[in-house]
Amino acid sequence: MAKKLSYSAPGRICLYGEHQDYLKLTVIPAAINLRTTIIVEKNNTNEIKIESIDLELVDSFKITDDLSLVKNEFDYIRAIIMVLFKEGLVKEISGFNVRISSQVPIGSGLSSSAAILVSWLTALNDQLKLELNRIEIADLCFIAENKILGINCGIMDQYSSSLGGIFSLDCDGPPHKIQRFTTNLDGLVIGDSCVRRSANEPLTLLRNQITSGFEKIQKQGDFKLRSLASDTLTEFRDTITEDEYRRLLGVITIRNITERSSIELSKSSNQDIECLGSLLTKQHTMLRDYLGVSIPELDNLVDVSIKSGALGAKLTGAGLGGCIIALAPRREEEVAHAINNAGGKATICKIDYEGAKKEQPFAIFI
Ligand code: GLA
């Protein structure tokens, strides 16, 4: 007789600070009310048997301390097991039946990867009594995604999914400075372009261009990306390629936008919501024109959202596909309608304040 228990973790949007986390700058993500749920049940074997309800796929593997990836959809499940052994957190793991279902669309910039990693590690944390806190869960999921699965991501997605809510996260650490905001930020609408892509492509391209440009500038003085001014960057324009210049200007402008929005979000009253909206759109312009990670489908969804009453909008996630997010307090329905009419798929969403969690036990015995 095995008891089935359910655990879940949210997807996220990135409001401010796109392409800043892997550069150790500050990001402002918000967890959203779309979740990935994992139901686990001990199966008295030494195997993990997995079923994805959405993908209609199954898989299984033996649990060993020298597990490797097999390049399929369930490598996320393997990667967490590999991290637990590698970090010396477990000596053995018992077998489980695992059922995964998700409201977070895959490859859409809403952090479906972090939601599955975080919900699975939250499940194992409880089942194996590992006593990891939410930050430790986020850090281990980052190791799984970055070091084991080889995605050139930063720490934003794992922290957002594990902690929930809306906060600014200084990615220069550990420890990472976190400032929680209490705002409800009503009127968030997601617009899915339905163009799917692997986040690793824009992440790898940008990371290489930004790092190589910045390394050239650092040879000429002790500059920091956290404080580099655009005038200083312009002085060195001739020493870097045009692409490197544009990427770096995009990064430091988004850094400044994030600092400005953080001041606004931390106000306990009289927040300038119109300013927060226009900072979203300014950021989209930088992502489109300087970082080069937008596509016409995303630009169009941003435009129709603003024309139908949103205060601002931007793509969310790595770019080159996936979703936009619009801020449209009291105009959610109109904006959702416009997104749907433009060929996108709209979801009016709310910020999730719970983060990863164990669901109320629903006693199913077999
Ligand atoms: C992906 C990565 C994040 C972040 C964003 C871009 O979602 O997983 O860590 O780098 O792209 O802001």
| pLDDT tens, position by position, 34-70 | 999 999 999 999 999 999 999 999 999 999 999 999 9
**Is residue 44 included in any domain, yes or no?**
yes
Q: Provide the CATH number for the domain around residue 271.
A: 3.30.70.890
268, pLDDT greater than 90: no
72, pLDDT greater than 50: yes
**Is residue 172 included in any domain, yes or no?**
yes
- 175 and 194 co-located in one domain: no
Q: What angle do CA 107, 109, 114 make, to 5 degrees?
A: 80
- 33 and 172 co-located in one domain: yes
Average pLDDT, the chain: 96
**Is residue 308 included in any domain, yes or no?**
yes
The DSSP bridge pattern shows strands 96-102 and 47-52 to be: parallel
Q: Mean of the pLDDT values across residues 146-150?
A: 98
Cα 21 to middle of ligand 1, angstroms:
7
- 296 and 235 co-located in one domain: yes
Q: Which atom of ligand 1 is nearest to the CA of 156?
A: 9
4 within 8 A of 42, measured Cβ to Cβ = no
How many CB atoms neighbour CB 309 within 10 A? 17
Place of tokens 């939250």: 122
Residue 362: the pLDDT is: 59
The residue range of the domain holding 167 is: 5-182+352-358
Collapsing DSSP to helix, strand or coil, 188 comes out as: strand
- 206 and 272 co-located in one domain: yes
**Is residue 301 included in any domain, yes or no?**
yes
Phi, psi of 182, rounded to the nearest 5 degrees: -100, 0
- Among 139, 136, 48, which residue's Cα sits nearest to residue 97? 48
The backbone region for 193, taken as left when phi is positive above 0, alpha when psi lies in -120 to 50, beta otherwise, is: alpha
- 246 and 118 co-located in one domain: no
Peptide bond into 175 cis (omega under 30): yes
pTM: 0.97
Tell me the C-alpha distance between 320 and 333, whole Å. 26
Cα 147 to middle of ligand 1, angstroms:
15
- 206 and 150 co-located in one domain: no
**Is residue 364 included in any domain, yes or no?**
no
The domain tally of the chain equals 2
**Is residue 53 included in any domain, yes or no?**
yes
Q: How sure is the predictor about 217, in pLDDT bands with cuts at 50, 70 and 90?
A: very high
Phi, psi of 209, rounded to the nearest 5 degrees: -65, -40
Q: How sure is the predictor about 365, in pLDDT bands with cuts at 50, 70 and 90?
A: very low
Tell me the C-alpha distance between 129 and 327, whole Å. 40
Cα 156 to middle of ligand 1, angstroms:
7
Tell me the C-alpha distance between 116 and 122, whole Å. 10
Collapsing DSSP to helix, strand or coil, 141 comes out as: helix
- 175 and 193 co-located in one domain: no
346 within 8 A of 336, measured Cβ to Cβ = yes
Collapsing DSSP to helix, strand or coil, 338 comes out as: helix
Q: Which of 203, 291, 293 to mutate to test the pocket of ligand 1 (most atoms within 8 A of CB)?
A: 203
355 within 8 A of 11, measured Cβ to Cβ = no
CA 293 from chain centre, in angstroms, equals 16
330 within 8 A of 187, measured Cβ to Cβ = yes
Cα 109 to middle of ligand 1, angstroms:
8
Q: Which atom of ligand 1 is nearest to the CA of 113?
A: 8
- 202 and 300 co-located in one domain: yes
Q: Mean of the pLDDT values across residues 233-262?
A: 97
Question: Which residues form ligand 1's pocket by a CB distance below 6 Å?
Answer: 14, 18-19, 21-22, 153-154, 156-157, 199, 203, 317-318
185, pLDDT greater than 70: yes
How many CB atoms neighbour CB 100 within 10 A? 23
- 128 and 33 co-located in one domain: yes
**Is residue 363 included in any domain, yes or no?**
no
Q: Which atom of ligand 1 is nearest to the CA of 20?
A: 12
Residue 87: the pLDDT is: 98
**Is residue 331 included in any domain, yes or no?**
yes
The residues facing 48 across adjacent strands are: 61, 96
- 12 and 155 co-located in one domain: yes
Q: Provide the CATH number for the domain around residue 67.
A: 3.30.230.10
- 234 and 320 co-located in one domain: yes
- 130 and 196 co-located in one domain: no
Tens digits of per-residue pLDDT, 281-330?
999 999 999 999 999 999 999 999 999 999 999 999 999 999 999 999 99
